[in-house]
Amino acid sequence: MDRLKQIESFVSVATRGSLTAAAQLEGVAPAVIGRRIDALEERLGVKLLMRTTRRITLTHEGSAFLEDCQRLLADLANAEASVSAGGVKASGHLRLTAPAGFGRRHVAPLVPRFRALHPEVSISLNLSDRVVDIVNEGFDCAVRVGDLPDSSLVSLRLADNRRLCVASPDYLRRRGTPRHPSELAQHDCLALSSDASQTRGWAFRLGDELHHLRVGGPLDCSDGQVLHEWCLAGLGLAWRSTWEVEGHLARGELVSVLDEYAAPPNGIYAVFPQRKHLPLRVRLWIDFLKHSYGDPAYWRRAAQSPAEGAAAAAPAAASAAEPLSVRA
């Protein structure tokens, strides 16, 4: 049996949630899809999907394998497109969305660089801290930071993202330094308000388990950048990503606390709708992001000078992205 067909069927079932939906897309009987999944699991020697009469869920091994398979299929599609497209240039309109804070610092500076490489592509960038419905709102690609909800969207991990609990030295002098996450209840915590996308709370590793704590204080806001500025002003503790606070930590403007309880890194992802033939402009944009964020020097430069860091890193990313889109 064709190994690629097995992988394609596994990805289709995992992202659509049922054998029937995957079979309808391909125009075959659900039993055919089921046999491919069975053959794949037998060949690998692991269970990838837990199937009941009512639902299908991924096992731990299946979740890890899904991300690798999606990346493999995306790379294969890019390779085929580069051959079939020949010298065809990317064109058309590209609609992008990203979280406001991350987008201002690490997406917006890359957009003009990408367009300089592909001048026949026009681009709209939406920055919002809400989780945008990219299918119903007509977006081609989203950059998302953190844990992703289950959905039929395709995601490609671009980089790791770590979060730290931070405060200004002035705040810690006045209020003391928390030694355990449980002590956050006695502190002013600057949390995103309930209408923002961060609804699970701050994550900490306690023993071998990951716990989410709902924290609070006299101030909250739906805009993460405002929370960041309040934290710098000494108004409380904040739970921020390393891409946002690394420079402030290096300069002593912020101090990280509870580091021994820090959660393992989550991810920075490119998310896009499931499509059999992804437009060339979308594939090239994802390749460009992958090369930009995959370069460790990019993050070092951005931490040194947030305003100029991404722009300074962009030329190197631009020069690397063009060959990638041809080869991959």
Question: Cβ atoms within 10 A of the Cβ of 149, count?
Answer: 8
In order of start, what are the domains of the chain with their CATH numbers?
3-70 (1.10.10.10), 89-158+266-327 (3.40.190.10), 163-261 (3.40.190.10)
Q: Determine the Cα angle at 286 with ends 281 and 287, to 5°.
A: 95
Which pLDDT does position 60 carry in this prediction? Answer: 87
The whole-angstrom separation of Cα 226 and Cα 8 is 43
Which pLDDT does position 56 carry in this prediction? Answer: 85
Which pLDDT does position 212 carry in this prediction? Answer: 86
Produce one character per residue of 109-126: b if its CB has 16 or more CB atoms within 10 Å, e if not. Answer: bbbebbeebbeebebebe
In sequence order, the 6+-apart residues with CB closer than 8 A to the CB of 150 are none
The whole-angstrom separation of Cα 78 and Cα 237 is 44
Our CA dihedral for 66, 70, 73, 79, rounded to 10 degrees, sits at -150
Which pLDDT does position 130 carry in this prediction? Answer: 78
pTM given for the model: 0.61
Which pLDDT does position 265 carry in this prediction? Answer: 85
Q: Which residues of the chain have pLDDT under 70?
A: 1, 78-79, 81-88, 149-151, 194-200, 275-276, 302-328
Q: What letter would DSSP give residue 46?
A: S
Which pLDDT does position 32 carry in this prediction? Answer: 92
Which pLDDT does position 1 carry in this prediction? Answer: 56
**Among 325, 278, 275, 281, which residue's Cα sits nearest to residue 91?**
281
pLDDT digits (tens, 9 = 90+) for 65-119: 988 888 888 778 766 766 655 556 788 899 999 988 889 889 999 999 999 999 9
